[in-house]
Amino acid sequence: MHFNYPNGKRYYSHNLTQIKPKEIKDVSYGKRGMTLEEDLNESNQYYLNAGIAVIHKKPTPIQIVNVDYPKRSAAVIKEAYFKQASTTDYNGVYRGKYIDFEAKETKLTTSFPLKNFHDHQIDHMRKVLDQDGICFVIIRFSSTDEVYFFEAKHLLTFWDRMKSGGRKSITKEEINQSGLYIPIGFQPRLDYIKIIDKLYHF
């Protein structure tokens, strides 16, 4: 059983039905075992219901080529292709502005590894910024459940530093300096729109 990436390489798994693109580990802290993705999806639903913004998680397009039916009521995917390389996790619109962002987390406590990103994602972010879109990363340090809003322009600076032979991560201190802390709330769970209002003077 395997997936085929756009470059033709295969990804093997014992059970493809358990694969979830960009799956994020559970964090049991404070409230509650919520994943970063769940927190963001809940926040986005709040924004949508309140008429604040329309932001959704992007689906990952795949093409299924081989399916097994061990039971009449269940199908098991045996082989599938990612139709294209994924860009970022979320996009939408807020006050007439295009919003585009990625959600990442790390178990490390002192730095965030840049290997969590891929060249095509970075290229996508550059293009969004070139079009005057609002692009950023939401980073969670899972061991302490700290969440930061990190503008793409800062990420690109540290990415270019790595490509020039510099360190392969962003230090926690650098994230504190360049990013903005997002406190965990109730409704919405992660109010990143408030950060956008502050940064872009809406």
- Reading the block at residue 118, the tokens are 């891929």
CA-CA distance, 6 to 98, in Å (whole number)? 27
Domain around 125: 25-60+85-200
pLDDT digits (tens, 9 = 90+) for 160-186: 999 999 999 999 999 999 999 999 998
Residue with tokens 């293009």: 127
Residue with tokens 């020039």: 164
pLDDT for the residue numbered 141: 96
pLDDT for the residue numbered 71: 74
C-alpha separations of 106 from 91, 172, 188 in Å: 22, 11, 22
Q: How many structural domains is the chain composed of?
A: 1
pLDDT digits (tens, 9 = 90+) for 54-107: 999 987 666 677 778 877 677 777 776 655 566 898 999 999 999 999 999 999
Question: Is 17 among the domain residues?
Answer: no
pLDDT for the residue numbered 64: 72
pLDDT digits (tens, 9 = 90+) for 110-159: 999 999 999 999 999 999 999 999 999 999 999 999 999 999 999 999 99
Question: Is 20 among the domain residues?
Answer: no
